Amino acid sequence: MKQDVYGRVTAQIVTALESGVRPWFQPWSVAHAAGRITRPLRANGQPYRGINVLMLWGAACERGYHAPIWMSFKQAQELGGHVRKGEKGNLVVYANTITRTEADENGDEQERDIPFMKGYTVFNVEQVEGLPAHFYALAERPADTVQRIAHAEDFFAATRADIRHGGSRAFYSPAHDFVQMPPFEAFREAEAYYATLAHEMTHWTKGAKRLERDFGRKRWGDEGYAMEELVAELGAAFLCADLSLSPEPREEHAAYIGNWLKVLNEDKRAIFSAAAHAQRAADYLHGLQPQPAAVQEAA
């Protein structure tokens, strides 16, 4: 099952990339009350994480779903609905470990944790009939804006990263540990600025004082470079979803597609690893946000 899941998911992502589509930047919609852009949501409103985000975003893009909510066949029944006859479900995965007691070479018993992965099927609410009305609720389109977005400004400011502005390039400097951004006014839309900043801030999390992420990059364009760029691309997509931003994909990142395809075709686990690293980066940046007063008091 584990190998089958790796192969199926990687093949799905590779097919999209080969057609020039980055599935993590496609399924934004203004048509559902859950929001202008969001991670895929479980029936209880909890967001999916890691590789499942990519898998369900890809399915939503391919099939044109506006609703971000997904549920199992049984959950649909428990909520009073039913999956329409003939609908095809979508794979999501669950990783965990089991503990097994084994005898070592001396005959002594030792416990060993063995990782495993399970796959199960979920359906988008647009494939389900008879659910409570709020699962299908439509939203009014938010007003477009070219102004700075306050909650995004607050989010990145709370990280206390050294973010500098000027010039025409966006990059993270590992040697000097700062993020360089073009001026805000240089971007055609506010959300493009924050998406670019989210990408560079994902790179920032790899620093030695933070997550110490290292894929062994030796030169520009090698597999380590491509892997880090993929993590930054996914991290930016996760953060944009969390911050309700809907940017267009950065055109220059299309140049990385060939390198990503090489990495994914050579290692079926690569997209799982990249998504996991991206999730850790997003979690790290969220962890730098100020805690609500109630949480502080409880602590």
Interval 1-55: pLDDT, tens: 445 677 878 888 888 788 777 767 644 444 566 555 578 999 999 999 999 998 8
**Is residue 147, in this structure, part of any structural domain at all?**
no
Kindly state the average pLDDT of the residues 155-162.
98
Domain identity same for 70 and 179: no
Looking at per-residue pLDDT, the higher value among 174 and 119 belongs to 174
pLDDT of residue 143 exceeding 70 = no
d(CA 49, CA 286): 14
pLDDT of residue 159 exceeding 70 = yes
Q: What is the pLDDT of residues 187-200, one digit of tens each?
A: 878 888 999 999 99
Domain identity same for 135 and 156: no
Looking at per-residue pLDDT, the higher value among 15 and 159 belongs to 159
**Is residue 71, in this structure, part of any structural domain at all?**
yes
pLDDT at 236: 93
**Is residue 31, in this structure, part of any structural domain at all?**
yes
151 in Cβ contact with 118 (< 8 Å):
no
Kindly state the average pLDDT of the residues 122-144.
80
Domain identity same for 120 and 194: no
pLDDT at 37: 59
pLDDT at 180: 94
* Low-confidence winner among 22-31, 96-105, 145-154 (lowest mean pLDDT): 22-31
pLDDT of residue 64 exceeding 80 = no
128: confidence class by pLDDT, cuts 50, 70, 90: very high
Kindly state the average pLDDT of the residues 113-117.
76
Q: What is the pLDDT of residues 229-265, one digit of tens each?
A: 999 999 999 999 999 887 776 666 666 788 888 889 9
Q: Where among 119, 141, 163 does a domain terminate?
A: 141
Domain identity same for 18 and 51: yes
Looking at per-residue pLDDT, the higher value among 13 and 78 belongs to 78
pLDDT at 293: 60
Those residues with Cβ within 8 angstroms of residue 245's Cβ, 6 or more apart along the chain or in another chain: 37, 149, 152, 191, 194, 195
Domain identity same for 132 and 167: no
Domain identity same for 132 and 46: yes
Kindly state the average pLDDT of the residues 219-225.
74
Domain identity same for 122 and 199: no
**Is residue 298, in this structure, part of any structural domain at all?**
no
pLDDT of residue 91 exceeding 60 = yes
Query: Does residue 273 sit in helix, strand or coil?
Result: helix
Domain identity same for 136 and 159: no
**Is residue 271, in this structure, part of any structural domain at all?**
yes
**Is residue 146, in this structure, part of any structural domain at all?**
no
Domain identity same for 220 and 135: no
pLDDT at 29: 47
**Is residue 135, in this structure, part of any structural domain at all?**
yes
Domain count for the chain, please give it.
2
d(CA 59, CA 16): 11
Looking at per-residue pLDDT, the higher value among 147 and 123 belongs to 123
**Is residue 297, in this structure, part of any structural domain at all?**
no
Per DSSP, what are the bridge partners of residue 172?
A: 179
Domain identity same for 60 and 28: yes
Domain identity same for 1 and 133: yes
pLDDT at 142: 47
d(CA 33, CA 35): 5
pLDDT of residue 139 exceeding 60 = no
Helix axes 270-287, 190-204, angle to 10 degrees: 100
Name the DSSP class of 41: B
pLDDT at 257: 81
Domain identity same for 77 and 174: no
pLDDT of residue 295 exceeding 70 = no
What is the domain range of residue 277? 152-292
pLDDT at 201: 98
Per DSSP, what are the bridge partners of residue 109?
A: 103
What percent of the chain has pLDDT above 90? 46
